[in-house]
């Protein structure tokens, strides 16, 4: 949504996109002054949440809020009017009211949850319009059934606005806006939708000046995005297609790069696993561990890394167990070669304590095998 400020007048033109709530809220709170704040509004609606953020911010300002509908206030734009202390409408402007809409994606549970949210939003719409107009719930519910348009006179008679003011947008441009298919606009991309809501020239607001403004924006857009095959004289459709083509090319490159990166990661992972297996096989051949212990040490290598595995094996002598290294291979270690942590704890806890001091690396291997984490003092 476009934001522009001149003194105590703020212009909000365009679709209320996701993220506009935070942006416009920050802009409004940065404004100075405590007198009346005039908000000139022209929007087909958009995000309910972001629209409510804008409205809540307006209500929180220590100023009287006067919203003027310059072109149209449709959907969430109509709800935004209910946050104002005073609402005016240009004699050729329009208001459109319908119930909130949502995308239908996800599981059945997701869709039921979305329906609950939409029901809550619908109830809020009824509440704010009833409060604004003094109408009963039944009357307001009729406004939510389909797209309901209100010209300036009807909007005033129904209590949606307080006053009708002079024209600011030419009648022929307003007729074109009224005939637009709002549901199509709702589903359009931002670049396509916002072309209908550019600011009028500061000098005057005739259609020729608006056309020049759009052409200038086209040139800036083409230059900023580096579009190919289009110029400022190209149609909106051609420029949109050029943006889509550029996006598709970028996505294709990103997908290819992601695939190449994943292939590299897979190859690297396989190579590391092969190195671990090779180191463990060597330890088996040298008699540092038994063949039935191979999978255990492969798991340790994959988890802790090849360096930790090499350190553990370096502390072992061929054909000697960890216990034999502690006591110099004495006869008292015979029969304990395959003891795990629990066996040591149960039958020779003092020997396990001694291992921590005399063969720390061997002790770490037992600890890691038992608890799955590195030992630290």
* Residues labelled catalytic: 75, 98
Task: Please list, residue by residue across 266-296, b when 16 or more beta carbons sit within 10 angstroms of its beta carbon and e when fewer do.
Answer: eeeeeeeeeebeebbeebeeeebbeeebeeb
CA dihedral 228, 232, 234, 236 (to 10 degrees): 100
The answer to whether the beta carbons of residues 150 and 97 sit under 8 Å apart is: yes
The DSSP secondary-structure symbol of 139 reads: H
Cα(252)–Cα(37) distance, integer angstroms: 48
E strands, 231-310, are none
How many C-alpha atoms does 154 have within 13 Å on its Cβ side? Answer: 11
How many C-alpha atoms does 152 have within 13 Å on its Cβ side? Answer: 17
- Nearest 5°: CA angle at 106, between 105 and 112? 95
Residue 99 main-chain phi, psi, to 5 deg: -80, 160
């Amino acid at each position: 949504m476009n934001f522009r400020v001149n003194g105590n007048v703020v212009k909000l033109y365009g679709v209320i996109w996701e993220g506009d709530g935070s942006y416009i809220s920050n802009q409004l709170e940065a404004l100075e002054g405590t007198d009346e704040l005039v908000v000139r509004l022209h929007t087909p609606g958009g995000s309910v949440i972001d629209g409510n953020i804008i409205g809540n911010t307006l209500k929180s300002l220590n100023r009287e809020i006067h919203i003027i509908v310059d072109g149209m206030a449709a959907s969430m734009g109509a709800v935004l009017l209910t946050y104002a202390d005073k609402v005016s409408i240009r004699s050729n402007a329009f208001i459109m009211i319908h119930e909130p809409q949502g995308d239908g994606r996800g599981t059945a549970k997701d869709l039921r949850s979305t329906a609950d949210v939409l029901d809550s939003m619908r109830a809020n719409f009824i509440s704010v319009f009833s409060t604004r107009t003094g109408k009963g719930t039944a009357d307001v519910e009729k406004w939510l059934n389909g797209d309901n348009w209100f010209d300036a006179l009807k909007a005033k008679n129904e209590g949606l606005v307080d006053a009708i003011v002079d024209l600011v947008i030419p009648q022929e441009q307003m007729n074109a806006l009224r005939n637009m298919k709002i549901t199509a606009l709702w589903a359009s991309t931002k670049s396509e939708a916002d072309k209908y809501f550019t600011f009028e020239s500061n000098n005057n607001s005739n259609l020729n000046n608006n056309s020049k403004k759009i052409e200038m924006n086209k040139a800036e857009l083409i230059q900023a995005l580096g579009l190919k095959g289009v110029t400022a004289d190209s149609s909106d459709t051609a420029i949109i297609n050029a943006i889509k083509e550029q996006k598709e090319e970028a996505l294709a490159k990103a997908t290819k790069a992601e695939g190449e990166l994943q292939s590299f990661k897979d190859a690297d992972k396989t190579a590391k696993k092969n190195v671990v297996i090779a180191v463990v096989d060597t330890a088996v051949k040298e008699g540092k561990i038994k063949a039935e212990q191979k999978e255990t040490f492969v798991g340790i290598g994959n988890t802790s890394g090849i360096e930790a595995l090499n350190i553990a094996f370096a502390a072992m002598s061929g054909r000697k167990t960890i216990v034999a290294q502690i006591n110099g291979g004495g006869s008292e270690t015979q029969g304990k070669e395959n003891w795990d942590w629990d066996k040591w704890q149960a039958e020779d806890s003092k020997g396990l304590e001694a291992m921590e001091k005399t063969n720390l690396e061997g002790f770490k291997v037992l600890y890691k095998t038992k608890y799955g984490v590195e030992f630290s003092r």
